């Protein structure tokens, strides 16, 4: 790679494309578990957090200036770690990249070697970027459901809210491949065929969940994966059947939880939080191993859009308007 390379840069909450970035912009290089691996980035992706960062919303980027992007897939170009060598293809999701540490929306990155996961041979670099934090989060939620929910009986459905987004789309595909009947909640009638193509058997109108409801409602769901929060999450909890589990991983509607303790103490419902950013390495590897066996790469391709780096800001604006379906990969190889 030339001395100068391309990347997005957020300065004082304003994002722009720069063509003059150098390795000096990546910060210090340090061994002994510090920023000891340099990566030539091939692909990144646009998640909800990236949408916030690239459109100037507060709460994601810590500091005045940073390369955004909470995902990256690329090739190790230099390493002071015995575990990784030039030529290794690797994945980084979370660990603060794109928030408090320079991230993946640039052609180079320098990170801690402990953050790396080897690219599974099942996936191409582009497919791994399409999975990204969204798919990784979906897999963590599926693992939590498998470990916590009461035993399923025939017909028990798992609800996925925010179903046409990145987490929701991959969650539906994973759950369907594992044999669970899936109900998908969406507010867009135009997405019904898309959600059924991923494996959803039932479509739930988002409006039936988005307003305040009773503390306990008819028991309907074996489990749920919720990326919405707010009254939606409260209603999902109130509708989850005895011994069920709800995995909470987003706040697209609200960070509030206007609920009561009744689902927990009268129905033994479990509310489990999914945090993909600082997920321990062992659990992280488990999730990627399961993605490699449970997620159909052809389905992944069907829900993925690819844009060049100079199209990323426009995608971020679409995400914030709720206009993006599935996953968007950013190609940094050119």
Residue extents of the structural domains in the chain:
5-119+303-331, 132-273
Q: Round to whole Å and give the CA distance between 195 and 182.
A: 10
Q: Round to whole Å and give the CA distance between 182 and 173.
A: 9
pLDDT on residue 63: 86
Q: Which of 261, 168, 169, 259 is nearest to 213 (CA)?
A: 259
Query: Which 8-state DSSP code applies to residue 97?
Result: B
pLDDT on residue 30: 59
pLDDT on residue 149: 74
Which run of H or E residues covers position 287?
helix 281-294
pLDDT on residue 152: 63
Tokens at 88, concatenated: 């290794």
pLDDT on residue 126: 97
Span 5-119+303-331 CATH architecture: Alpha-Beta Complex (3.90)
List C-alpha distances in Å: 288 to 79, 201, 282.
23, 26, 10
Are 106 and 21 within 8 A, CB to CB?
Answer: yes
pLDDT on residue 154: 63
Which residue reads 């004082």 in tokens? Answer: 12
Sequence-ordered list of residues with C-beta below 8 angstroms from that of 21, at least 6 positions apart, any chain: 4, 5, 6, 7, 9, 67, 106, 107, 108
Span 132-273 CATH architecture: 3-Layer(aba) Sandwich (3.40)
Q: pLDDT in tens for each of the 334 residues of the chain?
A: 558 999 999 999 999 999 999 999 987 655 555 799 999 999 999 999 999 999 999 889 998 899 999 999 999 999 999 999 999 999 999 999 999 999 999 999 999 999 999 999 999 999 999 999 999 999 999 999 999 876 666 668 999 999 999 999 999 999 999 999 999 999 999 999 999 999 999 999 999 999 999 999 999 999 999 999 999 999 999 999 999 999 999 999 999 999 999 999 999 999 999 999 999 999 999 999 999 999 999 999 999 999 999 999 999 999 999 899 999 999 998 7
Tokens at 228, concatenated: 């919405």
Sequence-ordered list of residues with C-beta below 8 angstroms from that of 240, at least 6 positions apart, any chain: 219, 220, 221, 222, 223, 224, 246, 263, 267, 269
Tokens at 63, concatenated: 């500091």
Other CB atoms within 10 A of residue 269 CB: 26
Report pTM: 0.94
Are 189 and 163 within 8 A, CB to CB?
Answer: no
Tokens at 46, concatenated: 């646009």
Query: Which 8-state DSSP code applies to residue 101?
Result: B
Other CB atoms within 10 A of residue 317 CB: 13
Ordered DSSP codes for 40-96 = EEEEEE--HHHHHHHTT-SSS--SSEE---SEEEEEEEEES-TT--TT-EEEEE-TT
pLDDT on residue 230: 97
pLDDT on residue 333: 85
Tokens at 26, concatenated: 């990546």
Which run of H or E residues covers position 135?
helix 125-148
């Amino acid at each position: 790679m030339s001395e100068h390379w391309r990347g997005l840069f957020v300065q004082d909450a304003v994002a722009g494309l720069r063509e003059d970035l150098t390795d000096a912009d990546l910060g210090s290089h340090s061994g002994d578990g510090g920023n000891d691996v340099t990566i030539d980035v091939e692909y990144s992706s646009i998640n909800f957090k990236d949408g916030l960062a690239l459109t100037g919303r507060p709460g994601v980027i810590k500091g005045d200036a940073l390369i955004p992007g909470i995902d990256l897939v690329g090739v190790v170009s230099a390493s002071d770690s015995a575990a990784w060598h030039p030529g290794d293809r690797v994945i980084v999701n979370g660990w603060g990249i794109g928030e408090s540490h320079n991230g993946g929306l640039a052609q180079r990155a320098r990170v801690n070697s402990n953050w790396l996961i080897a690219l599974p041979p099942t996936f191409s670099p582009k497919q791994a970027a399409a999975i990204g934090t969204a798919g990784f989060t979906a897999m963590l939620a599926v693992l939590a459901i498998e470990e916590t929910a009461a035993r399923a009986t025939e017909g028990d459905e798992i609800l996925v809210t925010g179903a046409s987004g990145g987490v929701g789309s991959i969650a539906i595909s994973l759950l369907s491949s594992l044999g669970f009947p899936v109900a998908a909640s969406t507010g867009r009638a135009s997405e019904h065929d898309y959600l059924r193509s991923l494996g959803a058997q039932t479509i739930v109108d988002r409006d039936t969940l988005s307003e305040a409801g009773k503390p306990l409602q008819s028991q309907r769901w074996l489990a749920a994966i919720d990326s919405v929060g707010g009254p939606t999450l409260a209603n999902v909890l109130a509708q989850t059947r005895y011994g069920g589990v709800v995995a909470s991983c987003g706040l697209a509607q609200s960070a509030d939880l206007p609920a009561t303790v009744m689902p927990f103490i009268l129905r033994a419902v479990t509310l489990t939080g999914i945090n993909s950013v600082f997920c321990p390495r062992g659990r992280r590897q488990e999730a990627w191993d399961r993605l490699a066996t449970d997620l159909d790469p052809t389905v992944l391709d069907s829900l993925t859009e690819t844009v060049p780096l100079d199209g990323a800001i426009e995608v971020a604006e679409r995400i914030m308007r709720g206009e993006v379906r599935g996953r968007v990969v950013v190609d940094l190889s050119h």
